Structure 1
Amino acid sequence: MSGYVGDVIPFSYDGRIWLFYLLDERSDDPTGMPWALVSTTDFVQYTDHGVVLPAGDRDAVDFDCYTGCVIADGSQLHLFYTGHNPRRGDAAGSFQVVCHAVSDGDPTRWTKRPELTFGAAAGYVPQDWRDPFVYRTAPGEPWQLVLAARYADGPDRRCGVVARLTSTDLEKWTIAEPLWEPHRFITQECPDVFQWGDWWYLVYSEFSDAFQTRYRVARHPDGPWLAPGRDTVDGRAFYAAKSVEHDGRRFFIGWIPTKQGDSDDGPWQWAGDLAVLEAHQEGDGTLAFALPAEVRAAYSDVQQVKLSPVDGAAAEPGQGALDRYAAWLGDPVPERCLISLTVDVDAGTQAFGLLLHATANGEEATVLRLEPQRDRVVLDSWPRGRTGPAQWQVEGDVPHVVELERPCPLPPGRHVIQVLLNGTTGQVVVDNRVALTFRRYDQGDGHLGLFVTDGSLNLVELTQSTASC
C-alpha cells in the first residue's frame, strides 16, 4: 500500500496477527479515511491485504473510518469503528459516531451495518465519541464497549472520560457508569482493556500532558485504576499504541510519526511507520517493554564493533580519568541494523550512552544518553542548533529533545542497550524494560560511538547486526 500508518487495530485470529490500520494517503484531494490490513506471525514478514474497510462516500457518516476494534463472537467477526464526516456537525465541530461491520470469518471481507450506528449519549460531547473497544470481563458476561469521550459540562481540558456501554447481543447498547474519570486529560484516545494474570489494564493515549500512550492497573475490571511507577509505554514517537494477546504473549503496536518537511526541526505529524514492542509483566503489575525476540533474531549477521579513542580519551573505556567526557568511535553502521551494547557502569557515573549517526571526530551526532543521576534515558543531538553567529549563540538551554525522554532505573552495574535502526526511525530498549522510540532525518556520517561523562564504565560488548536476508 502507498501511504502512512495511522492508528493500528491488532487482532489475533486463526494463528495470525491481523493489523488493521488507518491508511493516511495525505492526498491533495481527500477521499476519506479507510482501514487497510496487513497480517503476520512474527512481526518480520508481512502479508499486505490492501484496503478492507473502504471510506464512505462524500455525504456518509463514515466518510472517515477512524479507530475501533475487531472481535470474534463464535464464527462471526465484528468490527466496530468511528464514523466521521467533516461536513456533518454544527458550530462546535463535526460529529463522531460508532459504526459496525460484520464478517463471516474472513478478516479481509466486511459488510457494513449502517442501521446499528449510534452517536453520543446524553451528557457527552457529540464531537468526541470515538475509538470503540469491545470486550468481556468473563465468558458469558455482557459485552462492554468503552470509548474516548468528553463530558458536555466541565473544564475543557479536564473533562475527558472513558465512557462505557453494555450489551448482550452486540447490537443494542445501554449507557453505563464510566470506566474511568481521571479529571486530567482532554480525552483518552484509543482505550484498550485486558486482563493479565491477577491484574487488569487500561491503556489509552493522551494529548494533554504529553502525546503518549499510558496505562493504569487494577485488581478488578471496574478499577480503581492506579498509576504504576512507569505509566508510559514509550515516548512521543510511539503513539496510539493498542495491544494484542497472541500465543500467551502480549504485543503493543503503535506508529512512529513523521515530521513536517522531513526535517528534524519540523513539527510532528499524524501517522507514519508501524512499530511494535513486546510487553512483559513485573510483579507489581508494571509493564516492561522489549523488542520481540523474532525481530531481534532476524538480525543474525553479527559483527563486533571496534572502537578507537577520540579527543585524548583512554585507549579503552574504564582506563581514563573520572572527571571528564570521553568518547570512542567505530566505523559507520548500516542505516538498517540492530546495535547491542553491554556495559558495567560504576557508581557515581553522571551519564553514558551511544553516539549514533556521528561524524568521524564525534563532534556531531544523535546522542542516546542514559543518566543514572536522574534515572532517565533521553535522545539528544549535538550540535542542537544555533541562534546566531557568535560562539555563545547555541541552543544550550535546550537539554535534549524534550519530548523524547523516559524514566529508566539505572543503578550501578550491568546494563544492556539495544537500538534498532530502520532508515529514519529508531527504537531503543534498555535492560528489556524501558523503550524510547525516535525519528531522525539528519544522520550525518553514520559512525557509531560510545561515551561516558564524569564517571567510568567497562565495555563488555558492542555489536552491530544486519538482517541475513
Structure 2
Amino acid sequence: MKKMIYLFTIALSALAVTACSEDTYKGDPEKNWAETTEFFNSTEEAGYSTYYKPSLGRVGDPMPFYDEKANDFKILYLQDFDNNKLFCYHPIWTVATKDGANYQSLGETLSVGTSDYQQDAALGTGCCYYNKLDGLYYIYYTGHNPNCENTEVVMRATSSDFKTWTRDNAWSLKGADFDLSSQDFRDPQIFEDNGTYHMIIATRKGDPKFAEFTSTDMKNWTFNSSFNAIWDRMCECPDVFKMGDWWYFVYSEAYQTTWSRKVKYMMAKSFEGLKACFSDPGANWPKDGHEGVLDSRALYAGKTASNGTDRYLWGWCPYRTGVNVWDKNINVGEKEPNWSGALVCHKIIQHSDGTLTLGKVDAIDAKYNKPQTVSVMAEKGVNGSNGNYTLSGDSAYALFNRLGTHNKISFTVKTSNNLDKFGISLVRSTDEKKYYTMVINPEDENNRKVNFLEEGTDGKGFIEGIDGYLFARPADNVYNITIYNDNSVVTMYINDVCSYTQRIYGIPKNCWSINNYGGNITISNLTVSQY
C-alpha cells in the first residue's frame, strides 16, 4: 500500500496552570492521589503490548497468516520510522502471537533496498503463505519506487525457516504487461481454493480494479482477469477467505474523503459471486445495515487469518499530531490522521445470516485480570452505588476515579425508551474545559451510531469523520458494553453488533465518566480491571 505522507508543524502549547504535571503531589505526602479529579498530563509507554507498537517506530499495513509449522499467528507489517529515507523505507518486520493479545517481536524479516533505483527500494504491502508442497514460506510484496519505469511491481522472497530470506530478483509481476497500471499495482494477497492458488492485486485500468492471477504451484502465475473495485474509489489491502458457507472479500477504501477510508467487506456464496458484487456495489452491499463497514476510520488496512477455529482481523490504529496535546485527539486543521500506528486485533463474528461484525478477543479480555476499585468522584442526577446506578435528566453524569495505563471497562446500560442517548467520556476532569466522548447516538428510533464528541465549555462538539456505523437498536434496549485501552488506543464493543476503534490521548491516570442526555438510563455490573 502506498504511504500517504502528511507534514505537520507541531507546536506544543503549555497546559493550563490548573493541570497537574507528572511531578504534582510527589512532594506532598499528605495529598491523596486517589481522591483527586484534576487533569493529569500523563505520558505514554514507549511500546504497547496489547495493541502492539514497537518501542521505536510504528506499525503499518499488517500481513497476518497462520503458521502451521510453528502453531502461531505471524503478523508481518511495514515498519514505519520518523526518519524514513526518501526512497528506501518500510522494511517488513514480524511479530508472532498465539492469541492476539500478547506479541513477540521477531525483528526485521525483509530489508529495504540499498539503492534509490532498486525496484524494491521501498517495500509495500503483500502477504505471506507457507507452501506445504515445497516446504517454503513465500512473501509476495510490493516493490515501490517512483524512480523506476514501473512505480509498483509485485515481487517475492522465500525462506525455509522464516529466518533467512532470499529475494527472487528474476521474477516479478508488472501491471503494464497486462494492460493495467504501472503506478498502482500493489498489495498482493493469496488464497487457495480446491488446489488452485489465487492472487488478488489492487490496481487500476482507468478506474480502480482488482487483478486476479492463478497458480498451481505458487511459483508460476497466470493472469486471469481484472474486475471492478468500488466505483472510483481505490481499494487497498484485499483479503479473500471462506467461512462456513460464505465467501468474503475484505478491503480498505483508500484516503479520499472524511466518510471513506474504512475497512469493509463483501459477501457471496462463491468467489465468482464476490467478484460480481463489485459490478454494482450499491445493490450488493451486505445486508447488515451499514454497507459492510467493519469499524471506524481509526482502523485501516485490515486483513485476516484463521487457525482453523477462530478468525481474527488485524489493522492499524493511526497516531495523530496536532497543535497541542488536546488537539491531537481531533486533528485540528487536518482531515486525516497520520499513516501507521498501533496493531489492533479483533475477532471476526459471523452471524446466522452470514453478515460479519468485529468482536472482542478472548485472550485480551482474560489479560485484563486485576480488578480495580470503582468510585464515584463527582455526579449529577445519579442514584445508586457499587457498580449499579441510575442517571436521570439531561447532562446527568457519574465521574469515576482515575484509570491506569491499560484498562478494561465493562458495564450494561438499559435505556428507558427508544430514543435515550448516552455516552462514555475519557480524559475527563473537574478543572479542564475539554474532554472526549463516545456517544451512542439515536440516529432514529431504530438505529444507533457511535459519534465522537469534544465536549466541555471549550469543546467543538461533533468531530467529523471519526463516527462509527449504523447498528440496530437492541429490541430490549439493553447494551452490553466492553471497552479496552492500551495507552491511547481504545476499542469498544457493543452487543457483538458494533465495534468502534479510536485513538484518545491522555487516558492513563485521568478520570472518566458515563453520561446521560435526557430521559434516564440504568447502569449495572460496572467493573474496571487492568493488567
Give 1:232 shift: 1.4
Partner in structure 2 of residue 38 of structure 1: 95
What is the TM-score when the length of structure 2 is the normalising length? 0.78
Partner deviation per Cα, 1:3-27 (whole Å, 9 max, x = no partner): 1100000111121111110011121
Alignment check: 8 A CA contact 1:309 1:315 kept: no
Alignment check: 8 A CA contact 2:112 2:123 kept: yes
What is the TM-score when the length of structure 1 is the normalising length? 0.88
Partner in structure 2 of residue 125 of structure 1: 181
Matched to 2:95, the amino acid is: V
Partner in structure 2 of residue 4 of structure 1: 58
Distance in 1 (alpha carbons) for counterparts of 2:482 and 2:330: 26
- Structure 2 residue 519 is the aligned partner of structure 1 residue 455: yes
Change (3 A) 1:318 1:258: closer
Map 1:243-392; keep pairs closer than 5 Å.
243-261=304-322, 263-266=328-331, 267=334, 268-303=337-372, 305-307=374-376, 310-311=379-380, 313-316=381-384, 321-322=392-393, 324-360=394-430, 364-372=434-442, 373=444, 374-383=447-456, 385=458
Partner in structure 1 of residue 164 of structure 2: 109
1:82 to 142, 157, 160: 142
Partner in structure 1 of residue 124 of structure 2: 66
Root-mean-square deviation (CA, aligned residues, Å) is 2.2
Alignment check: 8 A CA contact 2:391 2:397 kept: no
Partner in structure 2 of residue 434 of structure 1: 498
1:236 to 297, 315, 319: 297
Give 1:265 shift: 4.1
> In structure 2, the residue corresponding to 1:296 is in which secondary structure?
helix
Alignment check: 8 A CA contact 1:318 1:456 kept: no
Q: Which segments of 5 or more consecutive residues in structure 2 lack a partner in the other structure?
A: 1-53, 278-283
Change (3 A) 1:27 1:308: closer
> In structure 2, the residue corresponding to 1:333 is in which secondary structure?
coil
Alignment check: 8 A CA contact 1:358 1:444 kept: no
Change (3 A) 1:298 1:445: closer
- Structure 2 residue 483 is the aligned partner of structure 1 residue 415: no
Give 1:361 shift: 7.0
Partner in structure 2 of residue 196 of structure 1: 243
2:106 to 49, 58, 70: 49
Matched to 2:470, the amino acid is: P
Change (3 A) 1:103 1:384: farther
Give 1:182 shift: 4.0
> In structure 2, the residue corresponding to 1:332 is in which secondary structure?
coil
2:200 to 142, 146, 167: 146
Matched to 2:179, the amino acid is: G
Q: Higher relative contact order at CA 8 Å, sep ≥6: structure 1 or structure 2?
A: 2
Distance in 1 (alpha carbons) for counterparts of 2:382 and 2:239: 50
Give 1:292 shift: 0.6
- Structure 2 residue 263 is the aligned partner of structure 1 residue 213: yes
Distance in 2 (alpha carbons) for counterparts of 1:43 and 1:348: 36
Partner deviation per Cα, 1:313-350 (whole Å, 9 max, x = no partner): 1434876655x231111111113211112122222333
Give 1:169 shift: 2.7
Alignment check: 8 A CA contact 1:367 1:380 kept: yes
Alignment check: 8 A CA contact 1:428 1:435 kept: yes
- Structure 2 residue 466 is the aligned partner of structure 1 residue 403: yes
**Please, which moves more after superposition, 270-279 or 404-413?**
404-413
Matched to 2:344, the amino acid is: A
> In structure 1, the residue corresponding to 2:527 is in which secondary structure?
strand
- Greater share of strand residues, 1 or 2? 1
Matched to 1:42, the amino acid is: D
Q: How many residues align?
A: 441
Change (3 A) 1:185 1:260: farther
Partner in structure 2 of residue 25 of structure 1: 81
Change (3 A) 1:321 1:171: closer
Matched to 1:81, the amino acid is: Y
**Please, which moves more after superposition, 324-333 or 269-278?**
324-333
> In structure 2, the residue corresponding to 1:259 is in which secondary structure?
coil
Partner deviation per Cα, 1:266-295 (whole Å, 9 max, x = no partner): 341110111100011001111121121100
Distance in 2 (alpha carbons) for counterparts of 1:314 and 1:53: 56
Partner in structure 2 of residue 446 of structure 1: 510
> In structure 1, the residue corresponding to 2:170 is in which secondary structure?
helix
Partner deviation per Cα, 1:66-121 (whole Å, 9 max, x = no partner): 111111221222110000113224xxxx61001011111x2232111011112104
Give 1:246 shift: 1.4
Give 1:442 shift: 4.9
Alignment check: 8 A CA contact 2:96 2:104 kept: yes
Q: Which segments of 5 or more consecutive residues in structure 1 lack a partner in the other structure?
A: 154-158, 387-394
Partner in structure 2 of residue 391 of structure 1: none
Which segments of structure 1 move beyond 6 Å, counting only runs of 4 or more? none
Alignment check: 8 A CA contact 1:116 1:171 kept: no
> In structure 1, the residue corresponding to 2:178 is in which secondary structure?
coil
> In structure 2, the residue corresponding to 1:255 is in which secondary structure?
strand
Change (3 A) 1:73 1:384: farther
Alignment check: 8 A CA contact 1:359 1:444 kept: no
- Structure 2 residue 237 is the aligned partner of structure 1 residue 174: no
Matched to 2:147, the amino acid is: R
Change (3 A) 1:107 1:129: same
Change (3 A) 1:258 1:454: same
Distance in 1 (alpha carbons) for counterparts of 2:242 and 2:489: 31
Give 1:362 shift: 8.8
Matched to 2:527, the amino acid is: T
Distance in 1 (alpha carbons) for counterparts of 2:212 and 2:144: 20
